[in-house]
Structure 1
């Protein structure tokens, strides 16, 4: 039985192809997280995606993310929803919406944003 959030995640992921997410120029742009998503990232994703020993693709490691992104949105969506290898379903983010999960994945698959201090100078 499909849960509504699973259907929502699949729908959002299917829409990624229509928005041009896979374009090279867009993939090279950093993604910024708002305060809420930054907190979620710190409590869930960061645990594995900043530790090479886990086997998870490291956040902002474009070479590690490239083959995963090449698998397509349907495969990534399945991995996000159901978990994959050591990744738990939903990355243990039960409070995340489909859009949250996509934004977090895009954040990790993109170059690191420049620090706020650098932008102020």
Structure 2
């Protein structure tokens, strides 16, 4: 059987069928416009003006490079302490929530990819 010749001789027909003739628009307006969901509905005057007011993960202006938070330095905010019942690290939790030690069987199962459990 000559499968290769049968595949090469077959013509490929696309599964998508387009209705009508392809038409390319004569003129396309590429002028910048405000996004329909924009809160103001207007474009900024310049990129620098936009960047001065924009916030993504904090202010993007020059003040963000001074390592300040809301106009105050981090040192002036004071020490950070957890509230009652909050913990910053797992080692601060009671011993019942601590990590359990690995058994020799578990370590061997991990090292062999689980094959030692079925051998």
Query: What's the TM-score bracket when you normalise by the shorter of the two chains?
Result: under 0.3
- TM-score, structure 1 normalization: 0.20
Bigger CA radius of gyration: 2
Which structure is higher in RCO with an 8 Å CA cutoff and minimum separation 6? 1
The structure where helix makes up a greater share of residues is 1
